[in-house]
Amino acid sequence: MKGLPNRNGEVPRVTVLMCVYNGEAHLAAAIESVLAQTWREFEFLIINDASTDGSRQVCASYHDPRIRLIDNERNLGLTRSLNRGLALAMGTYLARLDADDVSAPQRLERQISYFQAHPRCALLFTGFRKSTGYLGIPPADAVEQRWRMLFDNPMGHSTVMFRREVILNALGGYDESFPVAQDYALWTRALERGLVIGALPEVLVHLEHHERSISSTQGLRRQGYAERLSCRAIQDLCPTLEPRMIQVLSRIWAQRGTAGEVLRRPGDLRRLRRAVKTLIAAFAARHGLSQAWQDDKALEFARRVCTDVWHSQRQGWGGGLLCEILAGLTLNFHRPPFQLRLGRHLGRHLLGKLRQRRRGHTPPQWRRVAAEVDTSSSSRTLSENPAMRVA
């Protein structure tokens, strides 16, 4: 089904697609942020998914000719409503916005300008800020996109604009087997098909977090579907890893779980170390990445595990294991610059954490770690060996 041309008799370059279900409280702000765009020629397609509150009345109160309000006869859910919107949209480009989020006035203009300058780009994301204060900047580098999407979704669904025909023809729209995390599933398939993903570092969307938002009401369910996608991707990359270790890697890197799930005995650290080394090496081999890149990711993982162990220890879980982590979590990357960077970063981080606590409540094992790190920090400095300096 095709819609009508805009008021100038031309098919609009972009469709803004919004799906709403019982979102009356924040809906007006979202609609007004779209109508206030500096790019004026667009179609605003709103799918009312059988709301039972005043959402439809809010939408109908706006008489802007660019708005097309479509009512679902029954509640279809977000994924099926999105696919219905994809089929009804007229624009060459489709921009998404949830019914409780707000776009900056220049958002559409900036994204369309990017597409005009980058004709191979299929999907484009922008930075976003949540009402909780969290700032999300999408990775622009193609390798970093693939690496981060191996574990979770770093892109904001409400920030995306994509070429509609490409998503329909190459991917078939959203996967309806995912009632939540449908955006993560779509981005993952886009990468598998080799589609080019662009990123604008500017914060052009504000994401509202409240008690009725999807992240609040469907948070645990979304994590489950996201983990399913992540584990499948890791399994494809490293088929020799055992399923339990794949799950642990996914959870630790995406901060969906805790290192305490696997680091219960000293030998467990060796298993985790081998799994991380296998994963990093397999990814580097597939994408032709350097040893320096592998060292950076090993360092990132070590910091995540030690931070997680710290928080677990505060809740009563084995803090004594930290000594072994500091001594052994170099993941067999034996080049001295890497080892020195590992000690420097972890030492500073953990000492800062330890000094925040009253000494009388610090376990003896942690005091020994602090003393050892203090000693090594004073006796070994970067100035001792210019070849080992790290920018």
Q: Is residue 228 part of a domain?
A: no
194-209 mean pLDDT = 95
39-59 mean pLDDT = 97
CA max distance for the chain: 76
Give the pLDDT band of residue 255 (cuts 50, 70, 90). confident
CATH number of the CATH domain containing 204: 3.90.550.10
Main-chain phi, psi angles of 102, to 5 degrees: -130, 130
Same domain, 250 and 368: yes
Please report, rounded to a whole number, the percentage of residues in the chain having pLDDT higher than 90.
60
Task: Give yes or no for residue 3 having a pLDDT over 80.
Answer: no
What lies within 8 Å, CB to CB, of 33 at 6+ separation is 97, 102, 103, 104, 105
Mean pLDDT of the chain: 81
Give the pLDDT band of residue 362 (cuts 50, 70, 90). very low
Give bridge partners of residue 95 from the DSSP assignment: 16, 161
Q: Is residue 326 part of a domain?
A: yes
Give the pLDDT band of residue 253 (cuts 50, 70, 90). confident
Choosing from 156, 184, 218, the residue where a domain stops is 218
Same domain, 39 and 120: yes
359-386 mean pLDDT = 42
325-329 mean pLDDT = 48
Same domain, 280 and 183: no
Which of 137, 202, 197, 205 shows the shortest CA–CA distance to 163? 197
Higher-confidence residue of 36 and 259: namely 36
- Under 8 Å between Cβ of 78 and 19: yes
Span 54-87, pLDDT tens digits: 999 999 999 999 999 999 999 999 999 999 999 9
d(CA 297, CA 291): 10
Q: Is residue 43 part of a domain?
A: yes
Same domain, 206 and 258: no
Q: Is residue 5 part of a domain?
A: no
Give the pLDDT band of residue 273 (cuts 50, 70, 90). confident
Main-chain phi, psi angles of 8, to 5 degrees: -95, 5
Q: Is residue 255 part of a domain?
A: yes
Q: How far is CA 140 from CA 30, 143, 196, 197, in A?
A: 27, 9, 11, 8
Residue numbers of the domain that contains 78: 14-218
> pLDDT at position 360, please?
47
SS3 of 192, please? helix
173-185 mean pLDDT = 96
Q: How far is CA 196 from CA 118, 166, 340, 356, in A?
A: 10, 11, 37, 45
Same domain, 190 and 323: no
Same domain, 203 and 257: no
Same domain, 182 and 252: no
Same domain, 133 and 250: no
Give the pLDDT band of residue 264 (cuts 50, 70, 90). low
> pLDDT at position 166, please?
96
Which of 279, 263, 275 shows the shortest CA–CA distance to 322? 263
Residue type, 322: L
Same domain, 214 and 242: no
> pLDDT at position 390, please?
31
Task: Give yes or no for residue 330 having a pLDDT over 50.
Answer: no
Same domain, 207 and 132: yes
Q: Is residue 7 part of a domain?
A: no
DSSP per residue, 119-184: TTEEEEEEEEEETTS-EE----SHHHHHHHHTTS--S-GGG-EEEHHHIIIII-SS-TT-SSSHHH
Burial (CB < 10 A; 0-12, 13-18, 19+), residue 321, is buried
Q: Is residue 227 part of a domain?
A: no
Main-chain phi, psi angles of 30, to 5 degrees: -65, -45
d(CA 99, CA 187): 21
What lies within 8 Å, CB to CB, of 51 at 6+ separation is 20, 21, 22, 23, 24
Task: Give yes or no for residue 326 having a pLDDT over 70.
Answer: no
What is the domain count for the chain? 2
Q: Is residue 139 part of a domain?
A: yes
Same domain, 58 and 166: yes
Choosing from 218, 246, 279, the residue where a domain stops is 218
Span 25-34, pLDDT tens digits: 999 999 999 9
Same domain, 376 and 280: yes
Higher-confidence residue of 311 and 250: namely 250
